[in-house]
Structure 1
Amino acid sequence: MIEKVRSFLQFILLAALAIIAAPLAAHSTPNSEVRLSVLDETVIADIIVPRGEYAFGTGNPVDSSDHSLRAAREYLLNHIDVATPSGQRWQVSISSVEFVQIDGPPDLHAVAELVPPGGASPLDLTMEWRVLIDTLPGHFALFLLDDGPGGGERTIIGAVRNGSPPLNITLAREGALEPLTSAIGLGAHHIIEGYDHLLFLLVLLLPAPLVARSGRWAGHRPTGATLIKLAKIVTAFTIGHSLTLIAATVWQWSLPTAPVEIAIAVSVLISAMHAVRPLLPGKEPLVALIFGLVHGLAFATLVQEAHAGMVSGALTLLGFNLGIELVQLAIVAAVVPSLLVLSRHSFYNGLRQALAYLSAAAAMAWIVNRTTGQAEGVVASMETAMSHMAWLIPVAALLALGLIAQSLIRDGYGARSVRT
């Protein structure tokens, strides 16, 4: 059985490599970008929205005809609201809109003029951004401040996703550490909604409390040894993505994002199959390190989009990495106690395999979508379901507490029976 699994994974890897060599239709980093700058008393918003995601999320035409441009202008106006901190509405107008290839796959490019009401400062605003994020749960919009000559330097303001509250924006620098705090929030936000990154980490954790014997997961690892193994996995993943995040950002590597995104999906698939049957028993930290290098390239792509200056770039890099690590450690801390309890019971074997196979199916959907541009509806539905799965953590905790209470009651009843 183990040889069949390995052969299957080899086939998937070869197929993915073959498809990577072909022209890629998918927009592999499906985020919008909004660059803000202040001109006199007006805020200029330079908007870039991936054309493929726009077409799928809205159903509007993207053929650059007058009809498609009017539809795009109307859609943007209906999905962007700006107000003062006190709630007064700003005037929003679209001065230009076009479908154009700026960098990589084609985009919807628009320039919006945001005018505050009389007497209001143009430096403080609240942005309610609903462009695509209300229909595509995996989509997010990155907001940047152009604060250098000609927009040469940019500072990350924040990001919004489906369910995010309106973004409070201050366009005047508040202090030297502003890029750091903004980047911490961005890193945390990015990893929370980065379903492929989280799924990779979680499926690596599933077999950690178990011991591999004769090509199967059998037996239970002592709690202390399990915690040490989990620490090694998390540390290796952190080292891996930190190394490539730092290197790619400092040396400004040109990153082919499509193969990176496909490799991340492949990492989820391999980790999921490893959770079903041990492919590389004892080598989980090495797997986490290797694929952590790949995941770091994806993180670096987002940081590079800020095009920050030397000082703010270093702070952005540090803050983004800190945000990722804080959320990652919080998730591990929330999951591991329940995992240690549940893995000691017979039903865990079925639960582990079910979660692993579901993760493998998700990985296959990502691979198909990121190599061919197809299955966008499947991926959107899948990620919508994932966005509601945080409730599984408290459910697992309650189940673990119930099993502990049952064990204590049983032990207490047994002790009373012996005394009797």
Structure 2
Amino acid sequence: MRTNRPWRGIAVLLAAAYTMGILIAGEPAAAHPLSATAILLDVAPDRVTGSVQLPVDRLAAALGRPLTAASVTQPAELGELRGYLREHSAAAGTDGTPWQLEISGGRVERVDDVDHLICDLVLTPPGGAVGDFTLTWTAILHRLAVHQVFVGLRPAGDGEHAVAGTLTWQRQTLTVPAAGVVAPQTGFLAAMRLGIEHIAEGADHLLFLIMLLLPAPLLARTGRWVRAGDPRRSWLRVVHVVTAFAAGHSITLALASLGYVSLPVRLVESVIALSVLVSGVHAIRPLVRGGEAWIAAGFGLMHGLAFAALVADLGLGRESLVTDLLGFNLGIELTQLIVVALLMPSFLALDRTRLYPGFRIVVAGTGIVLAAAWFAERTTMIGGNPLEPVTDHLVEHPFLTAAAIALVAVVARSVPSWNRDAAGHTDGRVDHDRAELAG
């Protein structure tokens, strides 16, 4: 009966940590949107013209009512949607002087295999001469925390749009340079910031990495996980996982961005949800010995296609693509290292307690359930994701989540009956397996 006590303890601690997170969480947000808004601007001497591409499904979620490709172009609905966009957008000079902003037109096009409402934009400065200006955009962002708005910029009719920046629910104003050309250094930094934001705000990417880190302190023996007992071996396994994931997504990110690989976005997003599910199962029972590195590399290929879709949304030209890809990839890797630094010390500390098997199964089981909901939503088996509040907590409060896990580790280490070292005993089966490994 003593083996059940850790389960009761871990259930209480996790329930308290989760409840605390949900209580301060914001309003619902999608785990990883199939598409994003794109604002493409052409800068002329006397005005700025362009278009805005809004995913119909994200519009429907933000407005809280059903919208379809057919309904959004109906005169009454379209007029109301244009009014909504005007209320949630503004432009002004760097001195704060408002510009005139006009939104007109309205047609539906397929972008990334998702229906988008395309409207035309005209921004006119009061003095008749375009200078640097600020663009404020809150449409959809004010309701969907993980939605992103990509802003592309070019001199009127000259080449392709270069990335000017990204708007999110946290940052809804962007300074746009009048020259219409983003300097290479600015483009690199903007792409790096985009990579950081995409991982930080993508619950599926985060959860995939967490599922792969869960068994890092362990070794697979006879179809089960056992303690490795060597922190250096655990950190080496983390290096293998992060490197494998980086290699996988870097390959397809480059190939897809250069136009050599292309898959439907919905298929890519569905496989990403499947990758979280598979890695969660592996965290409970090892599918393959050392399999987390193979899982990271294999599914990393599909994650790279999703990353490439974000870069492609702005239609970056070949002259800036290499710089942008380097910045974007660096942003992804930096964020992954931050996740590792936040979580692995807690995982390693918990591994030295009798709670870690229960903790690992509870967290992996939660990941499996969330992944199953994402997979059902992205394959259109269900119309909406009922577990969005859980992903909200993960996306909007990552440091709170890491702190809650650290709290669990501290409490577990401080209770003698849970702490293997303090209690002076370990699982005999684990000792046997470690003896076999040593031999």
State the TM-score, normalizing by the size of structure 2. Answer: 0.80
Matched AA of 1:35 = L
Q: What amino acid is aligned across from residue 49 of structure 1 in structure 2? A: L
Partners of 2:201 and 2:396 within 8 A in 1:
no
Q: CA RMSD in A?
A: 2.7
Q: Look up the SS of the partner of 1:106 in the other structure.
A: strand
Letter in 1 for 2:159: G
Report matched runs for 1:371-410 at 5 Å.
371-372=379-380, 374-378=382-386, 380-390=388-398, 391-400=400-409
Work out whether 1:158 is the aligned partner of 2:144. no
Change (3 A) 1:144 1:241: same
Q: Are 2:112 and 1:107 equivalent residues in the alignment?
A: no
**Which amino acid counterpart does residue 340 of structure 2 have in structure 1?**
V
Which of 287, 291, 310 is matched with 1:283 structurally? 291
Where do 5+ consecutive residues of structure 2 fail to align?
A: 1-31, 424-439
Q: Distance in 2 between matches of 1:276 and 1:93?
A: 55
Distance apart, 1:83 and its partner CA: 2.8
State the Cα distance separating 1:345 from its structure 2 match.
Answer: 1.1
* Pairing 1:46-85 to 2, within 5 Å after superposition: 46-58=51-63, 59=65, 61-62=67-68, 63=71, 64-85=73-94
Say whether residues 1:237 and 2:245 are aligned partners. yes
Equivalent position of 2:12 in the other structure: none
Whole-Å separation in 1 of the counterparts to 2:409 and 2:234: 17
Structure 2 residue matching 1:162: 3-state secondary structure: coil
Deviation track 1:4-49 (CA, whole Å, cap 9, x = no partner) reads: xxxxxxxxxxxxxxxxxxxxxxx97221111011133222231001
Question: Which AA in structure 2 matches 1:105?
Answer: V
Q: Which amino acid aligns with 1:68?
A: E
Matched pairs, number: 383
Could you say what secondary structure the match of 1:346 adopts? Answer: coil
Which amino acid in 2 is paired with 1:136? L
SS of 2:386 mapped into structure 1: helix
In the TM superposition, residue 104 of structure 1 has moved relative to its aligned partner by 2.9
Residues 319 and 277 of structure 1: is their aligned pair in 2 closer, same or farther, counting only changes over 3 Å? same
- Rounded to whole Å, the distance in 2 between the matches of 1:83 and 1:169 is 10
Q: Tell me, what secondary structure is at the counterpart of 2:50?
A: strand
Aligned residue type for 1:349: P
State the alpha-carbon separation in 1 of the partners of residues 223 and 38 from structure 2.
Answer: 47
Question: What is aligned with 1:128?
Answer: 136
Q: 2:45 corresponds to which letter in structure 1? A: D
Equivalence for 2:101: 92
Deviation readout 1:317-372 (Å, 9 max, x if unpaired): 11111111111112112211122112211122222111111111111111111111
Confirm or deny that 1:203 pairs with 2:211.
Answer: yes
Q: Is the 8 A contact 1:137 1:383 kept in 2?
A: no
Q: Secondary structure at the match of 1:376?
A: coil
> What TM-score, normalized to structure 1?
0.83
Deviations 1:225-279 (A, max 9, x none): 0001110011011011111111222244333222111111100000011112222
Please state how far the C-alpha of 1:122 moved relative to its aligned partner: 3.1
Alignment check: 8 A CA contact 1:137 1:380 kept: no
Could you tell me which amino acid in structure 2 is paired with residue 242 of structure 1? S
- Provide the secondary structure at the position in 2 that maps to 1:211: strand
Identity of aligned residues (%): 35
Matches within 5 A, 1:309-388: 309-372=317-380, 374-378=382-386, 380-388=388-396
Aligned-partner Cα distance in 1 for 2:313–2:126: 31
Contact 1:220 1:344 in 2 (8 A): no
Letter in 1 for 2:142: D
Which residues of structure 1 form unaligned runs of 5+?
A: 1-26, 415-420
Query: Partner residue of 1:4?
Result: none
Displacement of 1:77: 0.8
Query: Distance in 1 between the 2:66 and 2:275 partners?
Result: 34
Counterpart of 2:39 in 1: which secondary structure? Answer: strand
